[in-house]
Amino acid sequence: MPSSKSPPAPNSRDGLHDLRVTRYGFLLLENFSLIALSAAIDPLRIANMVVGRRVYDYSLIGPGSEVVCSSDGIRVLPDVAMADTSRFDVVFVVGPNPIPRRGIGAIVDWLRRQAGEGAALGGLDTGSYFLARAGLLNGYRCTIHWEDQDVITEQFPKVTVSTRLFEIDRDRYTCSGGVAPLDLIVHLLASPPGSQALAARVLELLVAEPRSRDYRQQTSLRQYIGAEHAKLDEALQLMESNVEEPLSVPEIATHLGVSQRQLQRWFLERLGKSPAEAYLEIRLLRARQLLYRTATSLEEVCVRTGFISTTHFSTRYKAHFQISPMADRRRYQNAL
């Protein structure tokens, strides 16, 4: 039973009876994220249930009429194919993992046609990449799962990439992976006048907490420390923001206004490693991300992660991952 603090269920006086039907299309690409799809569709389903009619219509779109396999192996039969003449108000690309580099020309062309017909466009998980490939994010702010941020930054200089959980820039709606589509869709549900109570009710029924568009994706080591240690989180943010030109541990301590000894104790107690070891791990993880997700040369990877030579970098990389950088890149690419 809802508590006394629960938002009231919307009624006819909330203006929901004035909501027009919005047609959502979800383009499923091979190896798409099933959790991203579910996190986007379930808020729409529940909103329809709360309103009492199908005001949010949604369809699954496939490149063709055959089933599409998700990244976890579950196969889904689309409602329509891209070749069909269905019209949508909003089209989301449910991105795959990993991102394919070839064979997406038909998808890019179809997205351009959707834009030409006036549809708002969005990307879930890695979906932003396909919008960027189509030139549909030029001059827009977008976001994508943090593992793939370097891909868009490197390939599409006209696109502004943020680390936020989701971005709404005019008629472009993008979000990171996992359950972030839930936050994006709930925010969209709350946009029409009088529908804030509907969005709150949807969150309540999903047993979820609201997260604003300013919520940032947590990356690498920061996810392990918990939100209660603000100073340690700030130290890790400094490290993540200064990978190409690493700061010294004394510089980090000075910036935080603490002693090096205190900083050392925090890292050992929370992460089981020294600040220097944590910093090295952050840089190596960023290097692996560049090797996996981009075509950046080994020399450029060294420069962008603050290593003075490829020899020094390769030695550190192999000691940490038990494989050389280039062998690791080949192993990843062969597994695709």
Q: What confidence tens digit (pLDDT) does each residue in 241-277 have?
A: 899 999 999 999 999 999 999 999 989 888 889 999 9
The CA-atom distances, in angstroms, between 47 and each of 50, 121, 143, 165, 235 are 5, 21, 25, 22, 41
Mean pLDDT of the chain: 88
Omega of the bond prior to 98 within 30 degrees of 0, cis?
Answer: yes
Residue 76: predicted pLDDT: 96
Neighbouring C-alpha atoms within 13 Å toward the C-beta of 113: 13
Residue 8: predicted pLDDT: 46
Question: Looking at residues 219-223, what average pLDDT do you find?
Answer: 55
Number of neighbours of residue 278 by Cβ within 10 angstroms: 22
Lowest mean pLDDT among 8-17, 86-95, 134-143, 168-177: 8-17
Residue 3: predicted pLDDT: 41
Q: What is the pLDDT of residues 285-297, one digit of tens each?
A: 999 988 988 888 9
More confident residue, 19 or 71: 71
35 touches 103 (CB < 8 A)? no
Quickly state the pLDDT bin for 85 (edges 50, 70, 90).
Answer: confident
CA 217, 221, 227 angle in degrees (round to 5)?
65
**Does position 228 have pLDDT exceeding 50, yes or no?**
no
Residue 336: predicted pLDDT: 57
Domains and CATH numbers, the chain: 12-205 (3.40.50.880), 220-335 (1.10.10.60)
More confident residue, 222 or 57: 57
DSSP bridge pairs for 172: 121, 169
Residue 120: predicted pLDDT: 97
Residue 4: predicted pLDDT: 39
Listed residue (27, 29, 96) closest to 59, CA to CA: 27
The verdict on pTM exceeding 0.85 is no
293 touches 147 (CB < 8 A)? yes
More confident residue, 223 or 117: 117
Q: What is the pLDDT of residues 3-54, one digit of tens each?
A: 434 444 555 445 566 778 899 999 999 999 999 999 999 999 999 999 888 9
Cα gap 112→107, rounded to integer Å: 9
Quickly state the pLDDT bin for 214 (edges 50, 70, 90).
Answer: confident
**130 CB-near residues (< 8 Å, 6+ apart):** 29, 93, 95, 104, 107, 108, 111, 123
Q: Three-class SS string for the chain?
A: CCCCCCCCCCCHHHCHHHCCCEEEEEEECCCECHHHHHHHHHHHHHHHHHHCCCCEEEEEEECCCCCEEECCCCEECCCEECCCCCCCCEEEEECECCCCCCCCHHHHHHHHHHHHCCCEEEEECCHHHHHHHCCCCCCCEEECCHHHHHHHHHHCCCCEEECECEEEECCEEEECCCCHHHHHHHHHHCCCCCCHHHHHHHHHHCCCCCCCCCCECCCHHHHHCCCCCHHHHHHHHHHHHCCCCCCCHHHHHHHHCCCHHHHHHHHHHHHCCCHHHHHHHHHHHHHHHHHHHCCCCHHHHHHHCCCCCHHHHHHHHHHHHCCCHHHHHHHHHHHC
Quickly state the pLDDT bin for 215 (edges 50, 70, 90).
Answer: confident
Q: What percent of the chain has pLDDT over 70?
A: 90
Residue 254: predicted pLDDT: 93
Residue 280: predicted pLDDT: 95
Report residue 206 as tokens.
């999903």
Residue 27: predicted pLDDT: 97
The CA-atom distances, in angstroms, between 270 and each of 40, 223, 228, 263 are 34, 11, 11, 11
